[in-house]
Amino acid sequence: MGYADRDKYGMYKDTGGAGPGPSLMGADTLIGDGVVNGAEEDLGDIKEIMLDMNSGQVAYAVLAFGGFLGLGEKLFAVPWQALHLDTANKRFVLNVEKERLKTAPGFNKDSWPDMADMSWASQIHSFYGTDPARGGGPTMGPGVVMSGTVGGLSGSASSMGAGSGTGISDDSALGTGGGGSVDPRPGNLGDDKDLSKIRGSNIG
């Protein structure tokens, strides 16, 4: 089930170009989205989205990985800008090998860390190769658009290098041009350039 299936209010239905698209989305629809890496390995799903109440941006997505039926699973705080939103498959892509993810700083549901602690934040950003001083949201576009995955995995496209902090560098890889992104709503293949300008402040 993807974010379009969790749309209780019809936000993502085809309305001829109006309404929310990938640059402005309901946070509740993203919780439960699956996460894969560039090799299409299942990394788990999004359990929560953590807001920085001082900046008004999303700080982390909480990823649940491992376990069975919620038992024994480990939680990971993934920097928001470390993710890529796959608008074709309605899921997230994380630039990290499955085996390496097992070594990421994590926690269990009964013992959440102090996410406002700067030393903890530095450790998280260091692992995922992101810049805590850089705001903004995930890159967006259809399919898996990752390369240089943390841990050595190489994707098929040349869009995002681990630790670059720059996101998508070649708009042609997404077929959008000029910083737009593909609208995930059924039957709408146009871009959403008006909304993509505020990508960094959508819900993050």
pTM: 0.69
Which residues constitute the domain of residue 36?
27-201
Q: What's the confidence (pLDDT) of residue 114?
A: 87
- For a pLDDT cut of 90, what percent of the chain falls above it? 36
- Classify residue 88: in a domain, yes or no: yes
Q: Which residue is associated with the tokens 């560039």?
A: 38
The answer to whether residue 14 sits within a structural domain is: no
Count structural domains, the chain.
1
138 part of a folded domain: yes
Locate all alpha helices (DSSP H) within 21-117, ordered by sequence.
Answer: 27-30, 98-101
Q: What one-letter code names the amino acid at 45?
A: D
Q: Would 13 be classed as within a structural domain?
A: no
pLDDT at 20: 59
pLDDT band, residue 88 (cuts 50/70/90): confident
Spell out the residues 6+ positions from residue 147 whose beta carbon is closer than 8 angstroms to its own: 38, 154, 155, 156, 157, 158, 159, 160, 161
For 101-157, the pLDDT digits (tens) are 999 999 988 889 888 888 999 999 999 999 888 877 888 888 876 544 454 443 333
According to DSSP, the residues that pair with 36 across neighbouring strands are 42, 93
Tell me the C-alpha distance between 71 and 55, whole Å: 34
**49, part of any domain:** yes
pLDDT of residue 111: 87
Does 4 reside within a domain? no
Q: What is the CATH number of the domain that holds 38?
A: 2.30.30.240
- Residue 8 within any structural domain of the chain: no
Has residue 21 been placed in a domain? no
Question: What six digits make up the tokens of 22?
Answer: 């990938």
